[in-house]
């Protein structure tokens, strides 16, 4: 099902429709309304406020009823607008409910690519995590941007995207705008061009720690496959994909490293027979920003 493709080109923090629910923050309502304009009639509001443990309920309600819940465990989720309002948005795709994953794949892939790109800070300004469907394999993919790790969830996320906002940043309109630009596929350079001097500055990229004694190679400077000389570029890939899938970040490209690269290639590009090799100048390195 084709998407409507109606894109807001510059920030405009006005609500096209009034927000009538006091428990719903205007930032998430705005993000929903403009994402709906972009996707079109295929998109339905899966929910924002829900009185159950997790980001859909206010932090204060979780603290009272589920004090050990993960949505209030981190310091960044113990304050801000999300303490008194819902901090989650569910985007339901009717086409995905029928087994056609093309539209949900488009948005989920953009979220994943942005979160995995060390040069793209947009989602650090607003999102804690997301779950969705990417590669038509009936396995839910997701990523925790705050902890920088791949996550998964129940199979309802095959047809709806769940986005959790960082509670302390929920009132950040520029964060909502940054998330919207990822939804609609706006290039990073185009997003940067929309920011006035007064906009919050994106966080600096986090350095990747490496074990001592490894040979130093810039990411993308050589072809990586199982058995090549260990190096710092292997650590970059292991951290990028996540140690759960690509193995401990020790710089050694072993079988788990290959398995992780194959998973990434299948998830990112939809390859049916991924090879687990990062060719110098090839598509996999480019997708990783190098």
- Three-state secondary-structure class, residue 268: helix
Among 58, 23, 11, 19, which Cα is nearest to 176's? 11
% of the chain beyond a pLDDT of 90:
70
The whole-chain average pLDDT of the chain stands at: 91
Which pLDDT belongs to residue 244? 82
From residue 137, how far is each of 1, 247, 263, 267 by CA, in Å? Answer: 19, 23, 12, 9
Q: pLDDT band at residue 1, thresholds of 50, 70 and 90? A: confident
Angle, helix 26-39 to helix 102-116, in steps of 10 degrees: 130
Closest by alpha carbon to 55, among 169, 201, 209?
169
Predicted pLDDT of residue 240:
85
Q: What is the mean pLDDT of residues 243-262?
A: 92
pLDDT(237) > 70: yes
Mean pLDDT along residues 179-183: 98
Confidence band for 210, pLDDT divided at 50, 70 and 90: confident
The answer on pLDDT for 137 being more than 90 is: no
Closest residue by Cα to residue 134 from 106, 115, 154: 106
Between CA 191 and CA 181 the distance in angstroms is 7
Going along the chain from its start, the domains and CATH numbers come out as 26-193 (no CATH), 207-290 (1.10.101)
pLDDT at 207 over 80: no
- List, for residues 193-204, the tens digit of each pLDDT value: 999 888 877 777
């Amino acid at each position: 099902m084709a998407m409507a493709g109606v894109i807001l080109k510059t920030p405009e923090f006005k609500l096209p429709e009034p927000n009538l629910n006091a428990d719903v923050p205007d930032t998430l309502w705005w993000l929903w309304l403009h994402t709906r304009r972009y996707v079109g009639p295929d998109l339905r509001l899966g929910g924002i406020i829900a009185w159950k443990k997790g980001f859909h309920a206010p932090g204060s309600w979780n603290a009272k009823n589920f004090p050990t819940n993960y949505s209030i465990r981190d310091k960044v989720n113990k304050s801000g607008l999300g303490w008194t309002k819902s901090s989650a948005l569910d985007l339901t795709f009717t086409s995905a409910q029928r087994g056609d994953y093309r539209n949900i794949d488009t948005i989920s892939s953009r979220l994943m690519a942005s979160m995995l790109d060390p040069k793209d800070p947009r989602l650090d300004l607003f999102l804690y995590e997301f779950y969705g469907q990417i590669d038509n394999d009936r396995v839910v993919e997701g990523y925790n941007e705050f902890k920088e790790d791949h996550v998964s969830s129940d199979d309802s996320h095959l047809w709806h995207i769940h986005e959790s906002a960082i509670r302390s940043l929920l009132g950040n309109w520029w964060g909502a705008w940054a998330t919207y630009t990822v939804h609609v596929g706006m290039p990073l350079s185009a997003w940067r061009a929309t920011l006035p001097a007064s906009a919050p500055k994106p966080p600096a990229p986090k350095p990747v720690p490496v074990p001592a004694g490894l040979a130093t190679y810039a990411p993308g400077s050589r072809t990586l496959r199982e058995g090549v000389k260990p190096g710092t570029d292997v650590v970059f890939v292991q951290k990028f994909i996540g140690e759960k899938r690509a193995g401990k970040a020790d710089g050694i490209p072993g079988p788990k490293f290959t398995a992780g690269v194959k998973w990434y290639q299948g998830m990112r590009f939809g390859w049916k027979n991924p090879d687990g090799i990062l060719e110098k100048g090839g598509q996999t390195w480019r997708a990783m920003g190098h």
